[in-house]
Amino acid sequence: MSASALRARHGAFGLFALAFSHAALANPTYTTIDPPGSINTLPMSINNAGDIAGYFEDSSSQDHGFLRDFSSGTYTIFDGPSSIETVVKSNSGNRIAGYYFIGDEGHGFLRQPNGSIVTFDPTGSMQTTALSIANGRIAGYFVDSFIGNHYSSFVRDAGGTITNFDVAGATDTNAVSINNSGVVAGSYSDGGGTHGFVRAVGGAITTFDVPGTTYTAVVAIMTNGKIVGYKGFNGDRAFIRHVNGAIQLFNIPGAGKIFPAAANNNWIAGSTFHMQTLHGFVRDPSGTAVVFDPPGSVRTTSAGVNASGMVVGQGRDSGGFPHGFLRIP
C-alpha cells in the first residue's frame, strides 16, 4: 500500500463559526503552515510547546517530514533513510514518530530531538505504520506476514523493545494512540463489526462498543485515560469513554457528521461534514465547541490539538490549493 493510499486511510478527517461566547474560543488567531517547497502541507501533531510536526508533498510528488519550531517559526525538513516518501504522524517533546517507504515497503521510524533517526519494524512486519508517541513509547500497527493480509498491533517501549499483540478473535487490530502512561487504545474488526479496545501497560485488553452501533472508531487516548472516537462509519456521533467504562456521546449543534481526530487534556479537535463540505471543530474541556474555517479556507480538516487547545490541520483555498494551519484559541 502506497503512502497516498495510507494517507487516505489515516489522514485527518479532516460552516460558519457557531455562536458560542466562551472566552477561550472567541478570538482565535491563525497562522499558515507551509514548509519551503510544499505544494500540499499536512500538519499532523502539535506538542505542548507549540512545535508542529507533519509532512508535505513537493513538486515532484515526494513526501517529506517537517518540524516547525513554535518560538522561531523555522522549519526542519527530514526524510527516512533512502526514503521515497516520509509520513509523520505524532510528536511528543520533539520526539517524532511516523513511517517511510522504500519502494512499496513501509517502515517505522523515531526521530530523536538531536535529529538522529532510528528505524524499526515489528517481527513479521511486511509494512509498519507508526501512529502515536508519548514518553518515548510508540504504538501502531503492521501487516503481519505470519497471518496473511492481516493487521496486528505493536508497542515499542522507550528502550526499543517491540511487543506485538492482537485482540482475541480479531481479523484486524489497529492501535492508534498511546498515552504518557503507556496505555494503548484503538479499534479492531471481527465478524460482528468494528469495536474499540484499550490495552493496559501489563498487556490486559478490554474491549468495548458504543451502544447502538456495530462501528466504533477510536482516534485518541488522553493521559487521564479518556478515549475519544466516533460511532458509525459516517460519523453519526462522537464519544468520550471514561476510565470507568461509561460512554458519553456528544455532537455539535448546527454541525453535521462529526469526526474527532485528536484529544489532549480534555480538548478535542476534528472535523465535521456539513452541506457536503468539511469544516474544523474544537471542543474545550468544559464541553463548549466551535466549528471553524481558517481565513480563505473552503474545506478544513483538523488533525492535532495540544494541552492548551492549539489546533493544527489543513485548509483548502477556493482554488483547491491545500495549506497547513495553526489555530491558537
DSSP class per residue in 120-158: E--TTEEEEEEEEEETTEEEEEEEETTSSS-EEEEEE-T
What is the per-residue pLDDT for 222?
98
Which range has the worst mean pLDDT, 33-47, 128-142, 224-238? 224-238
Give the integer Cα–Cα distance in Å for 129 and 141: 5
- Average of per-residue pLDDT across 41-50: 98
pLDDT band of residue 149 (cuts 50, 70, 90) is confident
Give yes or no for a contact between 91 and 53, defined as CB atoms under 8 angstroms apart: yes
What is the per-residue pLDDT for 19?
32
Write down the pTM of the prediction. Answer: 0.91
What is the per-residue pLDDT for 18?
33
The single residue listed with the C-alpha cell 493521559 is 223
Give 3-328's CATH code, choosing from 2.130.10.10, 1.10.3720.10, 3.40.50.300, 3.20.20.70.
Answer: 2.130.10.10
pLDDT of 234 over the 80 cut? no
Give the integer Cα–Cα distance in Å for 166 and 319: 44
Give the integer Cα–Cα distance in Å for 288 and 25: 8
pLDDT of 219 over the 90 cut? yes
> What is the pLDDT of the chain when averaged over all its residues?
91
Which tens digit of pLDDT belongs to each residue from 158-170?
Answer: 999 999 999 999 9
Which tens digit of pLDDT belongs to each residue from 62-90?
Answer: 999 999 999 999 999 999 999 989 999 99
With 0-12 CB in 10 A as exposed, 13-18 as middle and 19+ as buried, what is 207? Answer: middle
What is the per-residue pLDDT for 4?
45
First to last CA, the chain: 37
What is the per-residue pLDDT for 25?
55
pLDDT band of residue 255 (cuts 50, 70, 90) is confident
- Report helix, strand or coil for 213: coil
pLDDT band of residue 129 (cuts 50, 70, 90) is very high
pLDDT band of residue 17 (cuts 50, 70, 90) is very low
Better-scored residue on pLDDT, 310 or 148: 310
What is the per-residue pLDDT for 104?
86
pLDDT band of residue 26 (cuts 50, 70, 90) is low
